[in-house]
Amino acid sequence: MKHDSTTASASHSSLQQTDARFHLHPFSNATRLNNKGARVITHADGVYIWDDQGNKILDGMAGLWCVNLGYGREELAAVAEQQMRTLPYYNTFFQTTHGPVAQLAEAIASVTPGDLNRIFFASSGSEAIDTLMRLTRHYWAIKGKPWRNILISRDNAYHGSTIGGTSLGGMSGMHQQGGPLVPNIERIRQPYWYGEGGDQSEEAFGLTAARALEEKILAVGPDNVAAFVAEPIQGAGGVIVPPASYWPEIQRICRQYDILLAVDEVICGFGRTGNWFGSDTFNIQPDIISMAKGLSSGYLPIAAVAVGDRISNALMEHDNDFNHGFTYSGHPVAAAVALKTIEIMKTEGIVEQVRDSTGPYFQKALRESLSDHPLVGQIDGVGLVAGIALVQDKATKTLFPSSLDIGMICRDHCFANGLIMRAVGSRMVLSPPLIISKTEINELCQKIRTCLDLTLTSAQQAGAL
Ligand code: PXG
């Protein structure tokens, strides 16, 4: 039966019904969601979003880790409109280019670390990751070693949900669906000291977790490995900040065995950790990085891969095409919005503000207001990204039994009390817009405290405490 959208009224329940009937949501249990009805978001401004029930909600997640400049930026809307009127689309395949894409490539190169100065465009982080996977393998083929194609990543990593991203990531729930997965991918443990460090000091555990890479390389043979791929801080994995000893050791191992170091900056890029890239914060020297999300502040879908000299020189020397690209690689409207985003970040000094002012303030405020809470086992984070481990027993770091989904209970209390804070298992994660003010950070912390109290009461009522 053909559906006539013009007959659909925009009332709350009718929108929910339309959504339930026709819309398949990402990462959702369709039956459960449809029985409940999706929350309808109507508009947004600054760090706040509103639903159609009139609730004003503090967005502690910047959408999905992306609306870094906050909502309601007129300059971004204006630039999109202007570009749509001038050149809404043209491709970059047929030996053609256009102003926005060439200028954006230059603007990205001006902020990327080291020699990462050649930019390939895509529309999503997952596409960027697929590009990075193909490019690192292709590099070794150009170098005459096509067998050198094993990619090593980590348990609990998130690299997107295309077949490439799913295969590369370390999310077991995703691996169970839609396979078989892409072959020749190996994984090592994650550097989660609070959860997995046992009796080791943080520093010692960082080395142990990094040396898992060396063990894996030796197990599969160094001459078979193309690249190690990792996020500077695991975002969707629960904001896992590695010990300070971790990245220098990873860097040493990659150099020693001549393994390409590929860093997934989709969440950490564009100021989230108080520098342009997470690689700057952790002093990583990658050969290639992926980026998306904050690149356009989430206003339009655009992603990129920045390639360093080692790979780009090989591509230049090679006489063949790299047979890869997307219809929307370097889409002019998305590129114009991303270019404006970078310009605003520079003129408003957003990265410096996060590094010197709001980032440290946020980290301190979270610890001062929440550390003593009975549910809070650990608070971790850098800049404007943080993870809070919820535990049943602080002294022993004991988690709640899985029958009590403490993260979901907390998330629902947040939703009901004007706050978006995401749950990753029993870790609560935060990634507010980078323009958040200190006053808004105070409000955020107060709301979290209230919601943790409500979560504590729920746990007590469930007999778990
Ligand atoms: N790499 C990383 C590090 C990511 O965080 C991707 C790649 C894929 O990007 P796209 O644009 O294809 O989604 C991501 C995306 C969550 C959540 O719930 C996180 C992401 C996406 C959706 C949900 O935390 N990260």
CA 87–ligand 1 middle distance (angstroms): 29
What CA–CA distance (Å, rounded) separates 259 from 435? 37
292: Cβ below 6 Å to ligand 1?
yes
160: Cβ below 6 Å to ligand 1?
yes
pLDDT value at position 10?
64
What CA–CA distance (Å, rounded) separates 455 from 410? 5
Minimal-distance CA residue to ligand 1 atom 15? 160
pLDDT value at position 3?
46
264: Cβ below 6 Å to ligand 1?
yes
Residue ranges of the chain with per-residue pLDDT less than 70: 1-10
Ligand 1 atom with the shortest distance to the CA of 292? 11
Give the β-pairing of 288-291 and 56-59: unpaired
Cα distances (Å, whole numbers) of residue 434 to 68, 250, 373, 387: 5, 29, 26, 16
CA 141–ligand 1 middle distance (angstroms): 29
Identify which of 163, 266, 273 to mutate to test ligand 1's pocket (most ligand atoms within 8 A of the CB): 266
pLDDT in tens, 315-330: 999 888 899 999 999 9
CA 180–ligand 1 middle distance (angstroms): 21
Q: What is the CA radius of gyration of the chain?
A: 22
Identify which of 28, 61, 64, 273 to mutate to test ligand 1's pocket (most ligand atoms within 8 A of the CB): 64
CA 262–ligand 1 middle distance (angstroms): 16
126: Cβ below 6 Å to ligand 1?
yes
Residues linked to residue 307 through DSSP beta bridges, in sequence order? 118, 288
Ligand 1 atom with the shortest distance to the CA of 160? 8
For 172-220, the DSSP string reads: HHHHTSS-PPPSSEEEE----HHHH-TTS-HHHHHHHHHHHHHHHHHHH
- pTM check: above 0.85: yes
- CATH 3.40.640.10 residue window(s) in the chain: 74-347
Minimal-distance CA residue to ligand 1 atom 18? 236
If DSSP codes are grouped into helix, strand and coil, which group holds residue 261?
strand
For 324-382, the DSSP string reads: ---TTTT-HHHHHHHHHHHHHHHHTTHHHHIIIIIHHHHHHHHHHHHTTSTTEEEEEEE
Write down the CATH superfamily of domain 39-72+350-461. Aspartate Aminotransferase, domain 1 (3.90.1150.10)
CA–centroid distance for 79 within its chain? 25
If DSSP codes are grouped into helix, strand and coil, which group holds residue 34?
helix
The answer to whether 145 touches 106, Cβ cutoff 8 Å, is no
124: Cβ below 6 Å to ligand 1?
yes
What CA–CA distance (Å, rounded) separates 445 from 439? 10
Tokens representing 359?
Answer: 């980032």
Contacts of 423 (CB under 8 A, 6+ apart): 407, 408, 410, 411, 429
What CA–CA distance (Å, rounded) separates 301 from 60? 21
CA 256–ligand 1 middle distance (angstroms): 31
Identify which of 65, 154, 229 to mutate to test ligand 1's pocket (most ligand atoms within 8 A of the CB): 65
- H or E, element range at 391: none
208: Cβ below 6 Å to ligand 1?
no
DSSP state, residue 303: E
- CATH 3.90.1150.10 residue window(s) in the chain: 39-72+350-461
CA 239–ligand 1 middle distance (angstroms): 13
CA 126–ligand 1 middle distance (angstroms): 7
Residue 38's nearest CA partner among 48, 28, 46 is: 28
Q: Is the dihedral of CA 436, 438, 444, 448 positive or negative?
A: positive
Contacts of 391 (CB under 8 A, 6+ apart): 375, 376, 377, 397, 398, 399, 400, 426
Q: Which amino acid, one-letter code, is at 265? A: E
Minimal-distance CA residue to ligand 1 atom 9? 125
Its CATH class, for the domain covering 74-347, is alpha beta
What does the buried/exposed string (b/e) look like for 411-433 if buried means 16 or more CB atoms within 10 Å of the residue's CB? bbbbbeeebbbbbbbbbbbbbbb
159: Cβ below 6 Å to ligand 1?
yes
- With 0-12 CB in 10 A as exposed, 13-18 as middle and 19+ as buried, what is 295? buried
DSSP state, residue 224: G
231: Cβ below 6 Å to ligand 1?
yes
Tokens representing 71?
Answer: 């909502």
The answer to whether 377 touches 194, Cβ cutoff 8 Å, is yes
pLDDT value at position 17?
94
| Residue that is written with structure tokens 């650990």 in the block | 378
CA 212–ligand 1 middle distance (angstroms): 25
What CA–CA distance (Å, rounded) separates 118 from 105? 7
Q: Is the dihedral of CA 315, 319, 325, 328 positive or negative?
A: positive
